[in-house]
């Protein structure tokens, strides 16, 4: 006789729950990360966008909770190592930028990496929910996926139109000279 562990994933429903718990933990981690980054951007527009994204991310976590209520299940139980790794990478990247404008560009790429990870998770979970004929859940998750995509497009537009060009010229504007090899430790 096969014995099962509590952690075992038996069917598509279990797999959907695992994906959703992973997303829930990921959203909570992202809230903490965005809170730690709020008001640090040099660009006013980027700060505005990050504040808006933080509000949306809180709503995403709340929406997953709603999904779990509908399923009569607990949203807790998974640690999202994917987002944890991406946040760690992001923090390292942002901390290494010595020019504020370049740091803004790095912050955008960091958040877009996290968003793309989330979009994959939401897309998959929506497909599972549809297969399981839980269209009510698919609909809720689709709202979040749409918001993730809109946020991603907003960040891309801001990067292309303002942040990246500013980063390109920042060393000249800030009169920061390129360090000589002896200055680099």
Nearer to Fe ion, 31 or 40 (CB): 31
The rounded distance, in Å, linking the Cα atoms of 28 and 25 is 5
Nearer to Fe ion, 21 or 60 (CB): 60
Helix (H/G/I), strand (E/B), else coil: 34: helix
The rounded distance, in Å, linking the Cα atoms of 164 and 128 is 38
Nearer to Fe ion, 148 or 166 (CB): 148
Rounded to a whole number of angstroms, the minimum distance from the CB of residue 66 to Fe ion is: 14
Number of residues that bind Fe ion (CB under 5 A): 2
Contact between residue 147 and residue 53 where contact means Cβ atoms under 8 Å apart: no
Nearer to Fe ion, 35 or 95 (CB): 35
Q: From residue 44 to residue 63, what is the string marking binding to Fe ion with x (rule CB under 5 A)?
A: -------------x--x---
CA separation (Å) from 92 to 89, 121, 180? 5, 24, 23
Rounded to a whole number of angstroms, the minimum distance from the CB of residue 60 to Fe ion is: 4
Cβ-proximal residue to Fe ion, closest one: 60
Rounded to a whole number of angstroms, the minimum distance from the CB of residue 13 to Fe ion is: 23
Nearest residue to 141 via CA among 37, 33, 68: 68
- Residues with Cβ within 8 Å of 121's Cβ and at least 6 positions away in sequence, in order, are 19, 22, 23, 26
Rounded to a whole number of angstroms, the minimum distance from the CB of residue 102 to Fe ion is: 26
Rounded to a whole number of angstroms, the minimum distance from the CB of residue 177 to Fe ion is: 40
Per-state percent for the chain, helix, strand, coil, to nearest 5: 75, 0, 25
Helix (H/G/I), strand (E/B), else coil: 176: coil
Q: From residue 125 to residue 144, what is the string marking binding to Fe ion with x (rule CB under 5 A)?
A: --------------------
Nearer to Fe ion, 111 or 163 (CB): 111
Residues in touch with Fe ion (CB under 5 A): 57, 60
């Amino acid at each position: 006789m096969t014995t099962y562990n509590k952690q075992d994933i038996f069917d598509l429903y279990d797999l959907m729950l695992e994906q959703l718990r992973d997303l829930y933990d990921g959203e909570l981690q992202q809230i903490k990360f965005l809170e730690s980054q709020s008001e640090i951007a040099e660009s006013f527009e980027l700060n505005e966008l990050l504040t808006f994204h933080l509000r949306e991310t809180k709503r995403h976590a709340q929406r997953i909770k709603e999904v779990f209520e509908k399923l009569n299940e607990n949203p807790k139980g998974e640690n999202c190592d994917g987002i944890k790794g991406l946040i760690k990478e992001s923090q390292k990247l942002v901390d290494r930028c010595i020019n504020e404008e370049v740091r803004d560009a790095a912050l955008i790429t960091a958040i877009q990496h996290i968003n793309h990870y989330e979009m994959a998770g939401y897309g998959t979970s929506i497909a599972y929910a549809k297969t399981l004929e839980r269209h009510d859940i698919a609909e809720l998750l689709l709202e979040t996926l749409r918001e993730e995509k809109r946020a991603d497009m907003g960040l891309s537009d801001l990067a292309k139109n303002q942040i990246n060009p500013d980063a390109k010229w920042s060393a000249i504007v800030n009169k920061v000279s390129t360090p000589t090899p002896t200055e680099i430790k």
